Structure 1
Amino acid sequence: MKRIQIHKWIIEYNYNKTKEFYKNFHLITDGCDCLNCKNFVEAIPVLPKDVITFFESLGIDPRKEGEVSEYCENEDGTHLYGGFFHLVGRLISGPDVWNKNDESGTMKSLDKDLYKIENFKFGFTNEINLARDGFPEPILQIEFEGIVPWVISEESGKFI
């Protein structure tokens, strides 16, 4: 495991095990055929290079495994997406991106603590959701939110 600091977090992660899992896993669109997921996968090549480099530096292929949601369309035609991916690793120190609200017990994002790259925000959490069967342990979850262009035709699901 390699130990690195990313913004306010120190994590340990295994790049090779993470990359190997993603190499062998199917595209998000093989598990969901909605236009929002299809657009996310097809838009990966046009996302800012620094965002893709960040995912890849952790061994993550953002076209695969993750949980992705489209939240809204922006006035300029881009879309706000959010979701999470997994990597083989653990959070050593830094704020958990999700924090329990003392009154209601619900979770809330700590937006001020997020790591920003271009039009994306990232954070780490120990709250592991929907990890795929066979994902190597220990598992660390990376949350994201970002602006993604719409690159497919809504009628056909094909590239615009």
Structure 2
Amino acid sequence: MKQMKIGDWNLEVDVEKTKDFYQAYHQITESCDCIFCKNFVSAIELIPKPVLDFFRSLGIDPTKEGEVSEYCEIKDGMHLYGGFFHIVGELISGPDCWIETSEEVSHLATNNMIEINGFKFGFTNGVRSLPDGFPNPTLQLEFEGTIPWALKESYK
């Protein structure tokens, strides 16, 4: 495990174990064939390099494993996406990007996130939808950002 300081967070991350898991795992589009997931995978190489570098610095292949949702078209073919990816690691200190507002309701606190080239990122210990075989300990990286429509086929 390697200690990392990212924004207000202190993390311990095993980048190699994370990378090994993603290398062996299938693409998002193998478990979901919706047009929005297909677009996300197709558009990955079109997002800003610093965003890709950030994912990769944590061992994440953003075309694999994660939970991805398209929220809406913003403008000029740009679409707002959000979701999360898993990392082998622990949140040592810093704000959880999810705030509990009641016993049953929580929300993503975007003020507890950092921005990299228009994408927002935050960390949480509230791990959801962990795939079988993902190594422990597990940390979740939440993201939100806009990506272009990269497919020839329309979503409409």
Q: What is the TM-score when the length of structure 1 is the normalising length?
A: 0.94
Distance 1:81 1:27 in 2: 17
Gaps of 5+ in 1: none
Task: Please report how far the alpha carbon of residue 119 of structure 1 lies from its aligned counterpart in structure 2 after TM superposition.
Answer: 1.5
Of 105-114 and 121-130, more deviation after overlay is shown by 105-114
Letter in 1 for 2:37: C
Q: Secondary structure of 1:62's partner?
A: coil
Identical residues among aligned pairs (%):
55
Residue 118 of structure 2 corresponds to which residue in structure 1? 119
Residue 32 of structure 1 corresponds to which residue in structure 2? 32
Distance 1:154 1:119 in 2: 26
Distance 2:154 2:43 in 1: 17
Distance 1:47 1:24 in 2: 23
Task: Please report how far the alpha carbon of residue 153 of structure 1 lies from its aligned counterpart in structure 2 after TM superposition.
Answer: 2.1
Mapping of residues 5-154 of structure 1, within 5 Å: 5-102=5-102, 105-154=104-153
Aligned residues: 155
Q: Secondary structure of 1:95's partner?
A: coil
Gaps of 5+ in 2: none
Distance 1:120 1:108 in 2: 18
Letter in 2 for 1:68: V
Distance 1:125 1:154 in 2: 35
Task: Please report how far the alpha carbon of residue 2 of structure 1 lies from its aligned counterpart in structure 2 after TM superposition.
Answer: 0.4
1:122-147: CA deviation from partner (whole Å, max 9, x where unpaired): 00001000010000000000000000
Q: What is the TM-score when the length of structure 2 is the normalising length?
A: 0.96
- Deviating beyond 3 angstroms after TM superposition, the runs of 4 or more aligned structure 1 residues are none
Q: Secondary structure of 2:52's partner?
A: helix
Task: Please report how far the alpha carbon of residue 155 of structure 1 lies from its aligned counterpart in structure 2 after TM superposition.
Answer: 4.7
